[in-house]
Every structure is written in structure tokens, then in C-alpha cells.
Amino acid sequence: MPFETEVKIAFRKMWMVGALGVYFTALVRSLLTDVFGVPVWLGQQHRRDLIVRYLYVLWFLTYFFISHVRIDKPPKKRDVPFDVIQASIGFAVAFALGFLDPQQGFSFAHQAYAVIASDVGIIVIAGLAIRWFPKEDLNPVRVVAILVAMVSASAAYISPYDPTTIPVALLALWFLLVRFGSIQMKAKDSASR
């Protein structure tokens, strides 16, 4: 294997493991703070906002893990830039959701912006993947994810505290992520044979 390829593989591993580490650390730190530090008197709306934020950050963490399970293959032309872009988007989303710095990001009063930032992140990542890595089996999942994220972002903008649309959209995004993962694993299993 050429040295340049080995360097790209090593960089991708370092970059994505670092991204996953940051996500996991931010998640655990926030979880401890939110479980033990949130006053009991906070209302149902605030608890719903926390659940939505956790489901989004867990979605990104799971997506990064699934998409990089077998990162040892020689990278394609755009793999490294795509990894940098999607991890950067993930960091921006984690910041917007208040996971990287609890004093920053969008507060409970601005929940709509946190949801919109998450959905825009999904739209950009899926759109870039369609453009740079078109695959017959994955593109329909990516297109539907873009549409669901657009509906979720629109719902957040129109009615940020709607108790149904955003959770249903999040459930759909999780379903699509599971579908994405099963397609990825099937493709990687057949490629390794």
C-alpha cells in the first residue's frame, strides 16, 4: 500500500475517532449534568426539549459510528474532505445543541434554532453524500432523510414547541439511520467476500 494511502487512512481514523470521542465525552458530561443538575420543577416542555436534543446528538454519534465501522479500506478521492466536513458539521450541531459548552449554543428559549441547526446538518451531509458518493441503494434513504429533515426544520420554525411533528420526524430519522446502517453493513459484507 502506498505511503500516501496509509497517511490518509491514519488521518481518517484519527479524525473520526476524535470526533466520536468528543461527541461521547460531551454526551456523558451533559447527561450527568442534566440528570443530577436539572431542577425537578422544570416543566414538561423543557424536558421534551432535552429529549429532542439528546436524540439529535445520539443520532449524529450513531451515524458517525455506522459510517466508519470499517475505515481501513484505501480512501476514495473525496473520503478525507467529506470526513472533515461532516465531523465539522457534527461539532457545529453539538455546539448549537449546547453539548460542547452548556453556556453556549441555543438555549431552551431558542429550541427551534437548535432543531433547525441539527436538521440543516443532516441535509448538508446527506446532500454531499448524494453528490460525491452516489449509490443506488443509499441515495433513496439519503433523499428521504433530506425531506424529513426539511419537514422537521420547517415545523421547528413554524411551531417550535409542537409536541408531535418534531418527535415524529426524529423517529423517522432514526428509522432511516437504521436502514442506512443495514445497507452499509450488507454492502461491506459482500465487498469483503
Please report the pLDDT score of residue 165 as a whole number: 84
Q: What is the CATH number of the domain that holds 140?
A: 1.20.1410
Number of domains in the chain: 1
In which domain, by residue range, is 122 found? 3-192
105 vs 109: CA distance, rounded Å: 11
DSSP string across 120-178: HHHHHHHHHHHHHS--TTTHHHHHHHHHHHHHHHHHHHH-TT-TTHHHHHHHHHHHHHH
Of 5-19, 55-69, 99-113, which has the strongest mean pLDDT?
Answer: 55-69
Under the banding of pLDDT at 50, 70 and 90, the label for residue 193 is very low
- pTM of the predicted model, to two decimals? 0.85
How distant, in Å, are the alpha carbons of 61, 156, 193 from that of 87? 10, 24, 30
Q: What's the pLDDT tens digit per position in 109-137?
A: 567 888 999 999 999 999 999 999 998 99
Q: What's the pLDDT tens digit per position in 68-77?
A: 776 777 778 8
